[in-house]
Structure 1
């Protein structure tokens, strides 16, 4: 019989290169940790100026405003007397404040729905237009980028009772009975200023929604058309769900603008006539800077903030949910 040779066991020793690579691992981890610490310090240095600006121009003024709510500060007294909840109590009993809040509510509803409906309608109308698209966008967007002071002055001329273009146009078509002093009549002043604001904001809504419509999946629209869906059905079930995140974003911006409206009213009417166009912003300004009631004006301003922030947060959550649903679809 032939003897079977015993199996040879070969021990594989780590090469010098392997040893060196293994030996470098702890050092490499140490370098990575040091790099992370350096990056963290660099990040803090880069963020520090922005944080400092936010603390100086946002956090501190807000905290200072909260302090003014509980004192009676007239702008001059260095040690204003403590009144506790006196400003809030007066605010709750102030009939003029409630009238201004009602005007704010009208402004929020009309000033939000008007631009959204008009802007969406214009965007859908010009969705398929390629030739001259840039011209239309510039023309409709221009009122939004104009200074509000200039817009208010020009529309004040348009609403002028005797030489205004609006009354002259009504007279030219035989509607003399509708002519009036639009900004001087308490029954029409608020809606006249609202018309100016809607005209200004519609272009912004139009440009944003038109850009969103350009990203709509046309294959889904064509498939819905082949399935027999009408125009309104395609708009509701195919187009709007795809642009809903953008639509909610525009809604949030327009709605928040309704809470903080001030400049266009201040320029065109100053809150008159007979406080017919007074909103919380103009009422806070008149108390703080015309009547030297800084504390009460600050209280009114904080009320506007307290009303606007929850609405903004709610719309932001809706927008995020719509974005997630769109990506999931």
Structure 2
């Protein structure tokens, strides 16, 4: 009786060793490139490291207290809030609307998927260059289009005006991400129970009521997943602003990410920039955890319904 039971145990041990061996390279890479830099960053926020001193002095929480008193941090935080709100709501609304239109018309969506998703796969550098051309004050496509329709009074230096710089870059960001939202939500709509939609139509529900009461509840877990991705992108925004405006003019488009980079690498205040980056991460974590829990709860409710 002991021999048969010993064989599975030996097999399980062998499989466990094999699994550990197979995952060891990945675990090692995670430790070297993720875990160690994170632990190193935690150390740097408590010292005053300028990138050169091998033994930086210990300053405790001074970097964080300075962050709280830095008016530039609060200005950048305000721009982040604008970006998070508009940069989340606009692509979600646009992507959902287009997905519903394509799904409801029952037309072939291959063309729409390619056309709308293409901007998402364009590298951020290319997006920044193209939209910088569009916003150019003299020969930019946007100003020329406004002039052509008699709205030349609205023309301006979009990236050079403190009142419009942030929103101009935000427009480029919305253009580049809404296709991702559209594609994911269109895929989710294909799993909607059409019988429920038809039943609501027979009951006299109009398109808005069918969408709100029948369609959206069924795709809500996917919608929350896309919301999480888009929202977190608002916390970590950096590339488009850095390339298109550099945070200017007059810091009008500065966000926490670009300000952290500026402090760390242009002002040689590595510890201060690292502390700000850590604050950004700590602000994003509650949103990610909360939305993820809500998504999981809705998914479980959908399975048990």
Q: TM-score range by the shorter chain?
A: over 0.9
- The 5 Å alignment of 1:1-329 reads 25-329=1-305
Unaligned runs of 5+ in 2: none
Deviation sequence 1:267-325 (CA, Å, 0-9, x none): 11010000000000000101111111100010111111111111111111111111111
Instruction: For 1:40 and 1:196, locate their aligned partners in 2 and report how far apart those are by CA, in whole Å.
Output: 49
> How far off its partner does 1:40 sit?
1.4
Deviation sequence 1:49-92 (CA, Å, 0-9, x none): 22111111111111100110011100010000111111011000
Instruction: For 2:145 and 2:15, locate their aligned partners in 1 and report how far apart those are by CA, in whole Å.
Output: 66
> How far off its partner does 1:128 sit?
3.6
Deviation sequence 1:226-263 (CA, Å, 0-9, x none): 11112111111110011011100100000000000000
With structure 1 as the length reference, what TM-score do the two structures score?
Answer: 0.91
Instruction: For 1:86 and 1:252, locate their aligned partners in 2 and report how far apart those are by CA, in whole Å.
Output: 32
Instruction: For 1:314 and 1:156, locate their aligned partners in 2 and report how far apart those are by CA, in whole Å.
Output: 36
> How far off its partner does 1:26 sit?
1.9
Instruction: For 1:199 and 1:318, locate their aligned partners in 2 and report how far apart those are by CA, in whole Å.
Output: 28
Instruction: For 1:201 and 1:254, locate their aligned partners in 2 and report how far apart those are by CA, in whole Å.
Output: 8
How big is the alpha-carbon RMSD for the aligned residues of Structure 1 and Structure 2?
0.9
Corresponding position of 1:22 = none
Deviation sequence 1:164-210 (CA, Å, 0-9, x none): 01011101111111011001110111011111111111100001101
Corresponding position of 1:16 = none
Instruction: For 1:200 and 1:308, locate their aligned partners in 2 and report how far apart those are by CA, in whole Å.
Output: 22
Deviation sequence 1:105-163 (CA, Å, 0-9, x none): 10000000000000000001111445541111011001000000000011001001111
Instruction: For 2:126 and 2:184, locate their aligned partners in 1 and report how far apart those are by CA, in whole Å.
Output: 24
Instruction: For 2:61 and 2:26, locate their aligned partners in 1 and report how far apart those are by CA, in whole Å.
Output: 34
Unaligned runs of 5+ in 1: 1-24
SS in 1 for 2:25: helix
How many residues end up aligned between the 2 structures? 305
With structure 2 as the length reference, what TM-score do the two structures score?
Answer: 0.98
SS in 2 for 1:127: helix
Q: 1:130 to 1:230 in 2, by over 3 A?
A: closer
Instruction: For 1:132 and 1:150, locate their aligned partners in 2 and report how far apart those are by CA, in whole Å.
Output: 29
> Larger Cα Rg: Structure 1 or Structure 2?
1
* Greater Cα offset, 38-47 or 62-71: 38-47
